A and B are shown apart, each in its own frame.
Chain A
Amino acid sequence: MDLPRFEHHQPKMTEELLELLAAHSDSAKIVAGGTDLLLKMRAGMMNPEHLISINQVEALHRIDYDDSKGLVIGGAARINDVGQQPDVRRYYPGLTYACDVMATVQVRNMATVAGNLANAAPSADCAAPLLVHDTELVLAQSGSTRQVKLHEYFTGPGMTIMEPREIIASILVPPVPERCGSTYLRLSARSKVDIVAVSVAGLLTLGASGEITTARVALAAVAPIPMLVPQASEMLVGQKPSEPLFAEVAAVVKEASKPIDDVRATAAYRRGMVEVLTRRVLAECLAKAEGGDK
């Protein structure tokens, strides 16, 4: 059960953290909740000589919302804190649901949304709900920052475009327009604790005459990375929503998924469920968009 040995740093300011990371970038990891990192270290999959804690940097714990800028989630904000924030619950129901049910109660109190993205599991629960909102990430390193689209962030299982000296400083989720509905549905081998076997997130916005003006569908756990399905957007935007249309889209989304067999489910089951969940997700998004709430 012993962890490998490392030096531990607890900077209080972002710039200090970034300098430490730059100084040790060949063998350093950021520790936030530690719920993925410590496991990997115990399993011998990672052996950083330095752990740089993000937890004392107050500025990174922020969770801010306003109607013009949308939601800003700091790199150290806890999953539970994000999910309990009233504006998140009101405007980002898919993300709320992910934050309410993923992993365990204890992990949700410890782990961070940014860490869930940085760990970059294909099944990352926060990924799909954030993808459908056209989320961007602010990646920071000592001396510079860059802003990237979340849909360009993941490159493979456990892999992202981040350089070793970069952190996710904040997650930027645009404000939600009127007549917009979004949601997230997931299936797992176990009802609790376990990671997802297949999940689908969706977002629909309706225009003045009831036609779809924005549409996004994102999948997790059915490809090497959490992914948007651009074909779904192409088929939906400009159309009047209907069950037959949603069924057509669901069939295309199913073909876009690339699941594998593993301990949680077979590829065939996952493909089947992608289609089922996509239909349900689109129906739910439509109901919410028509319901007049954001």
Chain B
Amino acid sequence: MAKQEIELVVNGDHYFVAVEPHRTLVEVLREDLNLTGTKVGCGEGDCGACTVLLGGRSISSCLTLAVECHQKEITTIEGLTTSPDDLHPIQQAFLEKGAVQCGFCTPGMIMSTQNLLNQNGEPSEEQIRQGLSGNLCRCTGYTKIVDAVQLAADRMVTQKED
């Protein structure tokens, strides 16, 4: 099938790529744009490892066609910070709380956290668990992830107030 020329606005950068219709967003991000922070876990929309923000809302990029994202704004894990010395509060909190073990679920977890905090800046523990319910972790047992989200939320609220 013929390739379609599309424009993807990823983390504020404009990428012009020619892709066949059957390519998913996660494939194009990883293979065409070399943004390999977003992971492929199940490829079925169950595990959340492929989570990115599309138009500000979390989606499973393994179930999204790249051609459907023409001129849409996409945020990946790479978009949260411009330098390793200047981590996003969510990333910083994950590190401090020991919420990262193998790290494979982490980009998706953090993007879902961003989605959650965009909608609710002061979530309860129950709301955090609900908000991350589309992201699976095989390592941590989730406790420290929840702690990290709580810490990030507290800090981001304080930041806003300053």
Contacts and interface: CB of A to CB of B under 8 A. Distances in A.
A110 B1 contact: no
Interface string A2-44: 1111111010000000000000000000010111001100100
Contact of A42 (B43, B48, B57): B43
B22 A35 contact: no
Interface string B58-74: 11101111011000000
Q: Which size class do A's interface residues fall under?
A: 20 to 34
Q: Is the interface of B mostly helix, strand, loop or mixed?
A: mixed
Q: Which of A80, A106, A192 has the most CB of B within 10 A?
A: A106
B40 A106 contact: no
A34 B25 CA distance: 12
A174 B46 CA distance: 34
A103 B46 CA distance: 8
A51 B21 contact: yes
Contact of B68 (A1, A55, A104): A55
B63 A38 contact: yes
A161 interface: no
Nearest to B21: A8
A159 B27 CA distance: 32
Contact of A3 (B22, B46, B112): B22
A4 B67 CA distance: 15
B77 to A, nearest CB: 15
B29 to A, nearest CB: 14
A2 B65 CA distance: 12
Q: Which of B45, B57, B67, B116 has the most CB of A within 10 A?
A: B45
A162 to B, nearest CB: 23
Interface in A177-207: 192-193
Contact of B63 (A4, A39, A51): A39
B21 A105 contact: no
29 contacts: A1-B27, A1-B62, A4-B22, A5-B20, A6-B1, A6-B22, A7-B21, A8-B21, A31-B68, A35-B45, A38-B24, A38-B63, A38-B65, A39-B44, A42-B43, A51-B21, A51-B65, A80-B57, A104-B45, A104-B133, A105-B116, A105-B131, A105-B132, A105-B133, A106-B58, A106-B59, A109-B58, A110-B60, A193-B133
Interface of B: 1, 4, 20-22, 24, 27, 40, 43-46, 48, 51, 54, 57-60, 62-65, 67-68, 112, 115-116, 130-134
